[in-house]
A = this chain, B = another copy of it.
Amino acid sequence: MALIVQKYGGTSVGSVDRIKAVAARVARTAAEGNRVIVVVSAMSGETDKLIGLAHQVSSNPNEREMDMLLSSGERVTSALTAMAIEALGLKARALTGRQAGIYTDTVHTKARIERIAGDRIKKAVDDGYVVVIAGFQGVTEGESEVTTLGRGGSDLSAVAVAAAVKADLCEIYTDVDGVYTTDPNIVPDARKLRKISHEEMLELASLGAKVLQTRSVEFAMKYNVPVVVRSSFNDNPGTLVVEEDKDMENVVVSGIAYDKNQAKITMINVPDRPGIAARIFEAIAGANIVVDMIVQNISSDGRLADISFTVPKTDSRKALEVTDALAKGMGAQKVDVREDISKVSVVGVGMRTHSGVAAKMFQTLAGHGINIMMISTSEIKVSCVIDLKFTELAVRVLHDAFGLAG
C-alpha cells in the first residue's frame, strides 16, 4: 500500500466538472490500494482575479494583506475537492496550509517553507481520510500570519508535504502530458521524455519550461522525492523526475528550452577599474532584481568596458533606473535596454561526459544566420541570448540538430 501525494494545478480544478474528475481519479487511486494526499491550486483565473481586485483598491497593496487575499483561492478548491471526494463515498478532509502545519519564514508573497509539522496530515491519513491540502500557502511560527509561496508555489507545497510524510510518489497533475524535449507548440514532433534527472528538470524549469516550479525541483532533489509530471486530462504515464542514472548519461542532450521573458541591459564604455562590476551588481541586488546572465567585454585599449546582463522583463525599468544613476556617477557613456531578445538553451546531463555540444549549438545557429549576443554555460547546459524574432527558428533547428524528434 503506497502513500501518494497528488497535486492538481489550476486548470485541473478549473471548473466543477474538473473538480469532479479529480475526485474520480483520487477515488480510483484509493481503490487501487493506495493512501492519497491531495494538494490543490486555486481554480484557474481565480488568483489573477484577486490580484486585479487588489490593484483596483490600492496602487501598492500591502504584501501581508495580499497573502491573506490570495490564500483564499486554494481554501475554496480544497474544500470543494474534499466535498467532491466525499460525494464518491470516501472520507475526506480539507486542511489549510496552517492546519497542514506548513510553516514558512515571514517574507510575504514569496515565503520559503521552513518546516512541515506533518502529524495532523499523518493522523488523518491513518484514520482513513483523503487529506486535501490548500497549496501555495503556509503560516509563520508564533504570530500565525498567513503567507504564500509565490507563483507555482503549490508544486512546492506538494513536494514538501511528500518529503515530510515520506510519500512513495509525488504526482504533479497539470494540463500537459509531461516534460517534452521542447515546446510542442513550436516543434510538433517534440518527444515526451519518459524520465529526466532533477538537474535537467531544474535547468528546464528555470529556463522557462513552465511544467514544474524551480524550487519544487530543488526540494525534490534535496529530499530525494520521486516526482512524476502528468496530465489530469488523460491517463498517459507522464515524465518521471528522478535521480540521475547511467541511462541518462548516454543521452547527450535531453531538451531545448527558451525564455522570452528576459531583457538585456548594456552599460557602454564603463571605465575598467577594479570594483566597478561589484558596485553595479550590488546596486542591482539592492533593488531586489535577480540577474541571470552577465557578460563583460573590454575595449581594444583596455581602459573601457561594455557590461551586459539580463534581468526579468518586468524588472527592466527598475534595472535601467539603477544603472542609469550609476553610469552617470562613474562616467560611463550610456545604458542600452533591449527587450526584444530571448534566451535559448540546450540541456542534458550527458554534457558532463560528452564534449562538443556548445560548438554544435553555435554552428547550428550561425548556419541559420542567427546572431548570438550573449553566451552562458553550466555543467549541463549552454544558453545563448538571441534576437527575439529568431526564437522559434532557433528552437526548431537545435531540436533537429541534436536529434531529439520522436
The answer to whether A20 has its CB under 8 Å from any CB of chain B is yes
Q: Which residue of B lies closest to A56 (CB)?
A: B16
Contacts of A83 in B (CB 8 A): 54, 57-58, 61-62, 65-66, 69
Q: A71 near B75 (CB under 8 angstroms)? A: yes
- Interface positions of A from 51 to 86, Cβ below 8 Å from B: 53-54, 56-62, 64-66, 68-69, 71-73, 75-76, 78-84, 86
Closest approach, in angstroms, between the C-beta of A220 and any C-beta of chain B?
A: 28
Q: Is the CB of B87 within 8 A of A79?
A: no
A198: interface (CB < 8 Å):
no
- Cβ of A94 < 8 Å from any Cβ of B? yes
Tell me the minimal C-beta distance from A44 to chain B in angstroms: 14
A19 CB within 8 Å of chain B: yes
A36 within 8 A of B: no
Q: Assess the B16–A53 pair: CB atoms within 8 A.
A: yes
B58 touches A84 (CB 8 A): yes
Residue interface mask A184-199, B partner, CB < 8 A = 1: 0000000000000000
> Within the complex, what minimum Cβ distance (angstroms) separates A124 from chain B?
11
Pair B86/A58 contact, Cβ less than 8 Å: yes
In the assembled complex, A93 has its CB within 8 A of some CB on chain B: yes
- Is the CB of A146 closer than 8 A to any CB of chain B? yes
Q: Cβ of B53 and Cβ of A80 under 8 Å apart?
A: yes
Pick the contact of A65: B60, B62, B94, B98 (CB < 8 A): B94
User: Does any Cβ of B come within 8 Å of A154's Cβ?
Assistant: no
Give Cα A72 to B80, complex, Å: 12
Select which of B57, B144, B145 is within 8 A of A16 by beta carbon. Answer: B57
A99 lies within 8 A of chain B by Cβ: yes
Q: How long is the Cα–Cα vector from A75 to B54 in the complex, in angstroms?
A: 13
Q: Are B64 and A80 in contact (CB under 8 A)?
A: no
A76:B86 contact, CB within 8 angstroms? no
Determine whether A326 belongs to the interface, using a CB cutoff of 8 Å to chain B. Answer: no
Q: Contacts of A93 on B, CB cut-off 8 Å?
A: 64-65
A337 to chain B, nearest CB (A): 31
Chain B contacts for A147, CB-based, 8 A: none
Q: Is the CB of A58 within 8 A of B87?
A: yes
Give the residues in chain B near A73, CB-CB below 8 Å: 72
Which residues in window 339-366 of A have CB below 8 A to B?
Answer: none
A16 contacts across to B, CB distance below 8 A: 53, 56-57
Residue A294 lies at the interface, judged by CB distance under 8 Å to chain B: no
Report the separation of the CA atoms of residues A65 and B19 in the bound assembly, to the nearest whole angstrom: 15
Inter-chain CA distance A72–B149, complex, in Å, is 18
- Complex Cα–Cα for A82 and B83 (A): 31
Q: Give the distance to chain B from A385, nearest Cβ to Cβ, in Å.
A: 38
Decide if A322 is an interface residue (CB 8 Å cutoff).
no
Contact B64 A146 (CB under 8 A): no
- CB-CB < 8 A to A82: which residues of B? 62, 65
User: Contact at B19–A57, with CB atoms within 8 Å?
Assistant: yes
11 pairs, A vs B, C-beta closer than 8 Å: A53-B76, A57-B83, A58-B84, A58-B87, A62-B83, A65-B79, A65-B86, A65-B92, A66-B79, A69-B75, A72-B79
Query: 5 new A-B pairs (CB below 8 Å) besides A16-B57, A57-B81, A65-B83?
Result: A23-B57, A64-B94, A66-B79, A66-B83, A68-B96
